[in-house]
Amino acid sequence: MADNKHDRDEVKRNGVVDITRRTFLHKSLLAGGAVATGSSVGFFQTLSSMEVANAAMGESFSFAWVSDTHLYPRELNQRFIDKATRAFSEVQAMGDKFDFMIFGGDLAQLGDPVEIELGAELLKEVTITKHFIPGEHDWYLDLGESWNKHFGETPWTFDHKGVRIIGVDSVGRAPDYWSARGMTDHERMGHMSALDGSQAGPWSGLGKEQREWLSSTLSDWPKDAPVIIFSHTPFWECYAPWNFWIRDWREVHEIIAPWQNVTNIHGHVHQPLYNEIGGMRSIGMLATSWPWPYAPEGVPEITKPMLRVDPGDHFDGVGWGNMNMSAEAHVDHQYMMWREQVFGYGRADSGTGDNVNQKLSPRIADRGWTGD
């Protein structure tokens, strides 16, 4: 209870939810004493935390992340359109600050070309450079045809102010579970749109061909220079039954292990999520549509779980990301959460008690994956 009071006071004092003292100490040790600070931007209330990288770099820059808008056709749902519109307007309003925007997938809900075209129309609000990676909801009606037509193919890479930036497709390389079952396109999409759909199995992964591409893309990059990898799903095993992972994360980590400063930024989980494995940090971003609950197996101890949302406010617990790569090689991320007011705080969210932290789920999804 005393700890809860401390956190409530901290919220009151700063107007933001900061990282816990335990996490702060952990980060400080990693950073050699760097100081973590809370902050708020304009009228936004934000959750903020600081992640510290080791490699030296040059010029600082900022970029925006928006993902998981889950748009339905306009006549079916206006609410998700309103929230996507708000995110794009806010990014545009801060456009001078950002070098580019990433759209991190799940633009559509059921992969309908009407939904993807609606998303493309709404995205016109943002006039800075945009880069795109697909989510599973964008892909499995027509296997990426509409997505690629509007937003181009993935993976891609470019270098920006001393950082190698990579976008991968972690959704479109699923093992084919539909052909032998004779599913229609809509049946396939229906299974992909369910969080724990048993038919789709371990659909998230990079696959052999893309892993080889990643390896060759990194091969000429200095081992101490920063790398940012954008993916729809996380580069570690958080919770396989919901595909909060990539099934080949072990193989991917073998590839990226020599690089000392890799930041993976991902969507799909619709919640703040943070982990570190070797030289890789992994940051889970908010959705604009809705927040998922935390996985029943828990989250890493260094994740600061989000607060439960106000069920009466559909703008609560969602938002977008304001990211900064500093000249000191720090990656800051701010959750631009549309939260009006914090009424209370519980230390342990669903499934996040300390006694279950860091316990990985049994790799049941591996049963359906044969190693492609």
Which residues of the chain form contacts with Fe ion (CB under 5 A)?
68, 106, 135-136, 268
Considering the complex, what minimum distance in angstroms separates the CB of residue 147 from Fe ion?
A: 13
What is the rounded distance in angstroms from the CA atom of residue 174 to the CA atom of residue 196? 15
Considering the complex, what minimum distance in angstroms separates the CB of residue 43 from Fe ion?
A: 26
Residue listed under structure tokens 């990079």: 206
Closest CA to 195 of 288, 295, 289: 295
Considering the complex, what minimum distance in angstroms separates the CB of residue 209 from Fe ion?
A: 21
246 in Cβ contact with 204 (< 8 Å): yes
Considering the complex, what minimum distance in angstroms separates the CB of residue 67 from Fe ion?
A: 7
What is the rounded distance in angstroms from the CA atom of residue 190 to the CA atom of residue 141? 9
Backbone φ and ψ for 147, nearest 5 degrees, come out as: -60, -50
Considering the complex, what minimum distance in angstroms separates the CB of residue 85 from Fe ion?
A: 18
Strands 330-337 and 47-52: antiparallel
What is the rounded distance in angstroms from the CA atom of residue 271 to the CA atom of residue 80? 17
Considering the complex, what minimum distance in angstroms separates the CB of residue 260 from Fe ion?
A: 29
Nearer to Fe ion, 156 or 292 (CB): 292
Nearer to Fe ion, 135 or 284 (CB): 135
Nearer to Fe ion, 76 or 195 (CB): 195
Closest CA to 77 of 285, 290, 263: 290
Nearer to Fe ion, 309 or 356 (CB): 309
Cis peptide bond prior to 226, omega within 30° of 0: no
Amino acid letter at 64?
Answer: A
Query: Which ranges of the chain would DSSP assign to H, the alpha helix?
Result: 2-14, 21-31, 79-93, 113-123, 136-139, 145-151, 185-192, 207-218, 249-256
323 in Cβ contact with 64 (< 8 Å): yes
What is the rounded distance in angstroms from the CA atom of residue 358 to the CA atom of residue 272? 16
Nearer to Fe ion, 112 or 136 (CB): 136
What is the rounded distance in angstroms from the CA atom of residue 230 to the CA atom of residue 241? 22
Amino acid letter at 226?
Answer: P
Considering the complex, what minimum distance in angstroms separates the CB of residue 159 from Fe ion?
A: 28
Amino acid letter at 306?
Answer: M
Kindly state the DSSP code that residue 243 receives in the 8-state scheme: T
Closest CA to 286 of 341, 336, 349, 343: 336
Considering the complex, what minimum distance in angstroms separates the CB of residue 193 from Fe ion?
A: 9
Nearer to Fe ion, 135 or 205 (CB): 135
Considering the complex, what minimum distance in angstroms separates the CB of residue 221 from Fe ion?
A: 28
Nearer to Fe ion, 73 or 197 (CB): 197
Nearer to Fe ion, 80 or 338 (CB): 80
Nearer to Fe ion, 90 or 106 (CB): 106
